Amino acid sequence: MYKLLRAVLLFLYVITSAKMVSAQTILLQQGFDNGSLPAGWSQDSAGTTPYFQWMFSNLSGRCFYGNSDTAFTLFDSDYFGNPNSQHCALVSPAFDATTFPHVYIVIDEVFHSFANSSHQIQVSNNNGVSWTSLLSDSTSDVGGIAASSQTEPDTVKRNTYDISSIASGHSSVRVRFMYAGNWGWFWMINNFKVIDNNNMCSSPPISGSVMADHNFYCGTTPVQLSLSGNSAGTGQSYQWQSSVNGSSWSDLLNETGTSVQVMPSTNLYYRCVSTCTSVSTYTDGMLISTSPDPGATSSSLPFICDNVHNIDLVCSNVLDPAGQTYQWESSADGNFWTTISGQTDSIATVNPSSAMYYRCTLACGLNTSSSQPVYVGRYFPVGGGCYCGALNDNPCDPFAGDFISHVSISGTTLNSTSSCTNGLINNYSFTPPFGNGTANLQRGSMYTVSVTTTGDHIISMWIDYNHDGSYDPSEWTQVATSSNSGIANTANFTVPSGALTGETGMRIRSRGIGSGNGSADACTDFYSGETEDFVIGIETMVSNHDLNSSLGMNLYPNPGNGLIRLSISANDLNAIDVRVYSVLGIEICTVHPAQQISVLDLSGSTDGVYFVRISDGINSQVQKLVIRR
């Protein structure tokens, strides 16, 4: 049985091979290998023997890349010099195409044009009595022309010309190649064939699209480009090209197949030109980048509140080609960056001792790029530990309208407007406790909280009055049970007189109407809505005093150039804590003054707006400072 199967397969192979061979018949062929005018060929100039003729040896020392060997025919107008006008045709012998319906000319050629020079391919089906021209453009370059034609190789192009409508059914068909010029450049021809082939390419060819095994190169693994969805057939040729801008293209030398390996030194576009019977089509360009693209930085937590839990940092859009390196960096103000020792992977693990910005810098050779930084806050609840996680499983979607857009508390600085980043993990955000992102509450006072959402929600608020690191049911305020999208919802609450002073946590949660969001749901896993966490301050009521001047802080000069004198009228300077924040709420420096007047050295900070906050643990004062040089 095995021998019979093998015999059948062998028979099918022979039949198939015979069909493949019979699909193409060579009617005339010439490789111009003998160094002289081939037998049966002639040179003609309007019925006379031309003085300047086609050459069959490379007297001018031309160099060519591609399909051509070292033997070819060449009309070199430049070699003949000036002033010498040329008009010469190289004429083939006659061949019989009576019984052949699919007749094509296939040649390798390079035509380098110059002013007043032209080339033309003509076919006669009556033994040279009359001729039909094939080329609609007889003056443009053909093939890849080098910058210096004498010293740099030109790239040969294989072209196919359909002459079926002229030659088929005729017994005396000739082809001639006519050059005309006056001290022009040249026309080289090689590997001339006239064939009958019913498997020829179709014109115009289908260029298809460029596929890449990876679209980023970092000096190690070449990028493999190939064609997909393209047409094929005898006579179809290919030429790969590159471009720095996607509009001006240059041929890649000797890259004339359906695939190519590239190793760009800078960002480059690549495309492939498909040609059949002198008609070309082009793929879209594909960009191969050498510049790293780290994207944004994301953190597993928006803040850290103990010395146990670490935060993982990730570059969101990292490609990881061979040869690319990583270096994580940190910054207190988002301007001046310091490398983090040992953090040289696409993921970093940190445990910050203070609020910090983080980013990842990618390097590929001499090209570097840094990710968009992420801010990681640092907050210690007085009672120790961290507040519970609060998940809203439905990812934040700005088009679905399911997030908190505004939170404020009357009589305080809290006036936080937020938006939704599509895909925000667990629909959770943390607002740093600075500027409009925090509030200063007084014990025994009543306030009004206002919350606006982008959907119809039930809304709750918790404030950790006893600073135990948890949001208890007794610390809950129901803001709304049935809110309307885009309309502020308000509720009154009173800070207990026994609330502990200092910084503490506040949580706002929303959830779709019809679902629970009660006093015990500060940590419940929701599907809809959003959770926003804040840090606020609770202080003792200061009667008959202006809170903003109770500690007697004065800054001068303001605006200043970076060296700022700080004057404090409080008696106990040892209890005073001075902190400087950027407009983003980043802590710039901390000072513990030992005398009534100290100097804040902000000479290393950029020009802009800053906030100076002093506190004795009970009272605090904040003043705006402007650095302007």
CATH number for the domain harbouring residue 560 = 2.60.40.10
Q: Does residue 14 register a pLDDT over 50?
A: no
pLDDT in tens, 233-291: 888 999 999 999 999 999 999 899 999 999 998 899 999 999 988 899 999 999 998 88
User: Is 9 within the bounds of a domain?
Assistant: no
User: Is 16 within the bounds of a domain?
Assistant: no
CATH at residue 230:
2.60.40
Shared domain for 333 and 373, answered yes or no, is yes
Which of 240, 269, 288 is a domain's end point? 288
3-state class of 79 per DSSP? Answer: helix
Residue 553 vs residue 136, higher pLDDT: 136
Supply the mean pLDDT for the chain.
Answer: 82
Helix (H) or strand (E) holding 370: strand 367-370
3-state class of 474 per DSSP? Answer: helix
User: Is 203 within the bounds of a domain?
Assistant: no
The mean pLDDT of 432-461, rounded to a whole number, is: 88
The Cα–Cα gap between 511 and 516 comes to 8
The Cα–Cα gap between 308 and 593 comes to 32
**What's the pLDDT score for residue 44?**
92
Shared domain for 437 and 535, answered yes or no, is yes
Shared domain for 332 and 213, answered yes or no, is no
Contacts of 627 (CB under 8 A, 6+ apart): 559, 560, 561, 562, 602, 605, 606, 607, 608, 610
**CA distance readout (Å), 530 to 10, 281, 509:** 71, 53, 6
The mean pLDDT of 318-331, rounded to a whole number, is: 82
Shared domain for 520 and 428, answered yes or no, is yes
Which of 507, 539, 571 is a domain's end point? 539
Helix (H) or strand (E) holding 460: strand 457-463
The mean pLDDT of 380-403, rounded to a whole number, is: 63
**What's the pLDDT score for residue 432?**
67
Residues of the chain above pLDDT 90, percent: 39
Q: 450 pairs with which residues across the strands?
A: 408, 490
Q: Does residue 53 register a pLDDT over 70?
A: yes
Residue 54 vs residue 254, higher pLDDT: 54
**What's the pLDDT score for residue 422?**
39
The mean pLDDT of 618-627, rounded to a whole number, is: 74
Cis omega (within 30 of 0) for bond into 557? yes
Listed in sequence order, the DSSP H helices in 75-220 are 77-80, 164-167
Residue 478 vs residue 388, higher pLDDT: 478
Most confident of 413-422, 523-532, 602-611, 616-625: 523-532
Q: Which amino acid is at 158?
A: R
Q: Does residue 21 register a pLDDT over 90?
A: no
The mean pLDDT of 316-326, rounded to a whole number, is: 75
3-state class of 146 per DSSP? Answer: coil
Strands laid side by side in the 577-582 sheet:
587-591, 577-582, 608-615, 620-627
Work out whether the CA dihedral 324, 325, 328, 333 comes out positive or negative: negative
The Cα–Cα gap between 59 and 76 comes to 9
**What's the pLDDT score for residue 22?**
39
Q: Does residue 597 register a pLDDT over 80?
A: no
Shared domain for 436 and 529, answered yes or no, is yes
**What's the pLDDT score for residue 240?**
96
Confidence of residue 508 (pLDDT cuts 50, 70, 90): very high
Closest CA to 249 of 258, 257, 239: 239
Which of 197, 224, 252 is a domain's end point? 197
Q: Does residue 352 register a pLDDT over 90?
A: no
Among 230-244, 332-346, 370-384, the range scoring the smallest mean pLDDT is 370-384
**What's the pLDDT score for residue 82?**
83
CATH at residue 511:
2.60.40.2950
Q: Give residue 576's domain range.
A: 547-627
Q: Does residue 1 register a pLDDT over 50?
A: no
Q: 563 pairs with which residues across the strands?
A: 601
The mean pLDDT of 375-393, rounded to a whole number, is: 66
pTM of the model: 0.45
pLDDT in tens, 534-589: 888 887 332 222 334 457 777 878 778 888 888 887 777 777 778 887 655 566 77
The answer to whether 308 and 298 have CB atoms below 8 angstroms apart is: no
**What's the pLDDT score for residue 542?**
27
**What's the pLDDT score for residue 618?**
65
Number of domains in the chain: 5
User: Is 11 within the bounds of a domain?
Assistant: no
Shared domain for 273 and 320, answered yes or no, is no
**What's the pLDDT score for residue 428?**
76
3-state class of 530 per DSSP? Answer: coil
Confidence of residue 2 (pLDDT cuts 50, 70, 90): very low
**CA distance readout (Å), 470 to 187, 381, 390, 428, 434:** 87, 9, 12, 17, 22
Shared domain for 29 and 104, answered yes or no, is yes
Residues of the chain above pLDDT 70, percent: 83
The Cα–Cα gap between 66 and 32 comes to 17
Q: Does residue 382 register a pLDDT over 50?
A: no
Shared domain for 532 and 589, answered yes or no, is no
User: Is 18 within the bounds of a domain?
Assistant: no
Most confident of 4-18, 425-439, 504-518: 504-518
Q: Which amino acid is at 569?
A: S
Shared domain for 218 and 310, answered yes or no, is no
Shared domain for 39 and 185, answered yes or no, is yes
Q: Does residue 308 register a pLDDT over 90?
A: no
| Residue whose pair of structure tokens reads 């709304």 in the numeric block | 480
User: Is 19 within the bounds of a domain?
Assistant: no
Q: Does residue 425 register a pLDDT over 70?
A: no
Confidence of residue 376 (pLDDT cuts 50, 70, 90): confident
Residue 554 vs residue 451, higher pLDDT: 451
Q: Does residue 19 register a pLDDT over 60?
A: no
User: Is 388 within the bounds of a domain?
Assistant: no
Q: Does residue 323 register a pLDDT over 70?
A: yes
Residue 540 vs residue 462, higher pLDDT: 462
Confidence of residue 613 (pLDDT cuts 50, 70, 90): confident
**What's the pLDDT score for residue 560?**
81
Shared domain for 333 and 265, answered yes or no, is no
Helix (H) or strand (E) holding 16: helix 2-22
At 7, list the tokens. Answer: 């015999």
Shared domain for 516 and 551, answered yes or no, is no
User: Is 420 within the bounds of a domain?
Assistant: yes
**What's the pLDDT score for residue 550?**
56
The answer to whether 191 and 108 have CB atoms below 8 angstroms apart is: yes
The mean pLDDT of 170-187, rounded to a whole number, is: 95
Using a 10 angstrom Cβ sphere, with 0-12 exposed, 13-18 middle and 19 or more buried, the burial of residue 139 is middle
**What's the pLDDT score for residue 145?**
74
Confidence of residue 67 (pLDDT cuts 50, 70, 90): low
